[in-house]
Amino acid sequence: MTGYLLRRLPSALGVLLLASFAIFFILRAVPGDPVATLAGSDPSPETVAAIRADLGLDRPVLAQYGTWLADVLRGDLGRSYVIGGEVSELLSQRIGKSVELTIGALVFSLAIGLVLGVLGVTVKNRAGQAVLSAINAISLIVPAYVSGFLLVFLFAITWPVLPPGGHVSVLSDPQIGFQYLLMPALVMALPPAAIVARYVKDGLLQALGEDYTRTAKSLGIPHRRILWRHALPNALPPVLTVLGMLVGTLLGSAVIIEAVFAWPGLGTLAEQAVTRRDYPVIQAVLLFMVAVFVIVQLLTDLAYALIDPRVRLR
């Protein structure tokens, strides 16, 4: 197992390094020289040179990247130009809220997906199947801002039982916090839930059609036990892989969900930073999200290896 981790680690670090490099250069490629912004109008060449030296811009690009990376690893993400304050502080205020939303959405999507997927295998009649596939298709393709608007219209305006937007931490007040979390997390969870459902259903159908399921049946093992103990474990590894990828989808959709529901998380911060061109903040948010994504991928692969003994041998 440790050996497997050691084999997988380099490629994960590689992608991370590549991404950090890309993100660093994004800033360098930005139109509008930061020197020009800082030096004011019509500066003397000496002033420009001094500012450049001050910012380290006169050194080779790779060296600058090295310094930046070292700073990042120490937790120093620089200062925000526009929003103001240390970037690391800005980030830490928002991360908790985003994590809350993402975990909520992940739990919803897993739960809904598992239920829909297992139902997709156990429901035999045509009408039931049609309803299930309609639910799946709608959750998958309707964009979050459309479903968000509909839910707000239904449950916050027409029949006001939930707040239309805003945030109260679940940790500080579980009941109220959950009311605020319910709609955004649900909207965020719908497309991933449909994907999980599809993978669970396909995986189960495949496992149930395999020869080993026939063997289990021929041994008189009860159907329920075959489904849960023999087939489901075989159906899970692909679900796990897709779950890792779904974390990426969730990170992306957070931006739009937070906008629809006025949720003050990382997505809103990123949106503000981009509209106001606050580059250090953009850089930090990007780096954070890519890192989370890569780490989740790695964890997924490890979990996969834990379930399936054959993977470890590869």
Partner 1 sequence: MATDVLSAAPSPGPVPAPAHAPGAGPGPAAAAKPRRRIRNRYLRGLMTPRGIIGLALVGVLLGAGLAAPLLTSHDPNFQSADALVGPGSAGHLYGTDEIGRDLLSRLLYSIRTDLMVVLIAVPLGLLIGGALALVAVTHRVADVAVQRLFDLLLSFPSLILGLTVTAIAGFGAGSIVTVIVLIEIPSFGRMLRGAILVHRDREYAVAARIGGAGPLRLLTRHVLPNAADPVVVQVAVAMSVAVILEGAMSFIGIGIRPPDASLGGMLSASRPYLEDHPFYALGPLVVITALVVGLNLIAEALNRGARR
Partner 2 sequence: MTISLDKPIDEPLDDPLAAPAGSATLHGLSSSDALLRVRGLHVTFTSERGPVHAVRGVDFDLARGETLAIVGESGSGKSTTALALTKMLPGAGAVTGGSVLLDGPAPGDPVLDLASAGEDELRRIRGARIGMIFQDPMTSLNPLLTVGRHLDEAMRAHGVADKRKRAARAVELLDLVGIADPAKRMRDHPHQFSGGMRQRVMIALALANEPDILLADEPTTALDPTVQAQILTLLENLSRELGTATVLITHNMGVVARSAARVMVLYGGRVVEHGRTEDVLAAPQHPYTAGLLRAVPRLDAPYGQRLHGIPGSPPDLASPPEGCAFADRCTLATDQCRTEQPPLRAVGSGRTVACWVSDGPLPLPLAASGAVVSGGASGTEVAEALDGKQAFAAARAADVHEAGDVEPVLSVEGLGKVFKSRRNRVVALDDVSLQLFPGETLGVVGESGSGKSTLVRTLVGVHPPTAGRIVFGGRDVTRPSRADVRTLRRSVQMVFQDPYASLNPRMTVGAIIADPLVSQGLGTPGEHRRRVGELLERVGLDPAAADRYPRDFSGGQRQRIGIARALAPEPSVLICDEPVSALDVSVQAQVVNLLADLQADLGLSMIFIAHDLAVVRQISHRITVMRGGRVVETGPAEQLCADPQHPYTQALLAAVPSPVPAARTAAAA
Per-residue interface string for the shown chain with partner 1, residues 152-191, x marking contact by CB under 8 A: xx---x---------------------------------x
Residues 30-89 that bind partner 1 (CB under 8 A): 30-31
Rounded CA-CA distance 314/283 in Å is 37
Determine if 22 is a binding residue for partner 1 (CB under 8 A): yes
Give the residue, chosen from 14, 143, 222, 262, that forms a contact with partner 2 under the rule CB under 8 A.
Answer: 222
Q: How many residues bind partner 1 (CB under 8 A)?
A: 56
Determine if 310 is a binding residue for partner 2 (CB under 8 A): yes
**CB 311, min distance to partner 2, A:** 11
Determine if 271 is a binding residue for partner 1 (CB under 8 A): yes
Residues 15-54 that bind partner 2 (CB under 8 A): none
Q: In terms of C-beta distances under 8 Å and separation of at least 24 residues, what long-range contacts does 24-27 make, across chains too?
A: 24/65, 24/68, 24/69, 24/283, 26/282, 26/283, 26/286, 27/279, 27/282, 27/283
Determine if 230 is a binding residue for partner 2 (CB under 8 A): yes
Give the residue, chosen from 26, 82, 99, 214, that forms a contact with partner 2 under the rule CB under 8 A.
Answer: 214
**CB 211, min distance to partner 2, A:** 4
Determine if 125 is a binding residue for partner 2 (CB under 8 A): no
Q: Which stretch binds partner 1 (CB under 8 A): 76-84, 99-107, 167-175, 263-271?
A: 263-271
Q: In this complex, which beta carbon is closest to partner 2, that of residue 126 or of residue 310?
A: 310
* Contact between residue 267 and residue 289 where contact means Cβ atoms under 8 Å apart: no
Give the residue, chosen from 174, 277, 307, 312, that forms a contact with partner 1 under the rule CB under 8 A.
Answer: 277
Determine if 240 is a binding residue for partner 2 (CB under 8 A): no
86 DSSP β-pair partners = 79
> CA-based diameter of the chain, in Å?
89
Determine if 303 is a binding residue for partner 1 (CB under 8 A): no
Q: Is 88 exposed, middle or buried (0-12, 13-18, 19+ CB in 10 A)?
A: middle
Determine if 108 is a binding residue for partner 1 (CB under 8 A): no
Binding site for partner 2 (CB under 8 A): 209-212, 214-223, 225, 229-230, 233-234, 307-310, 314
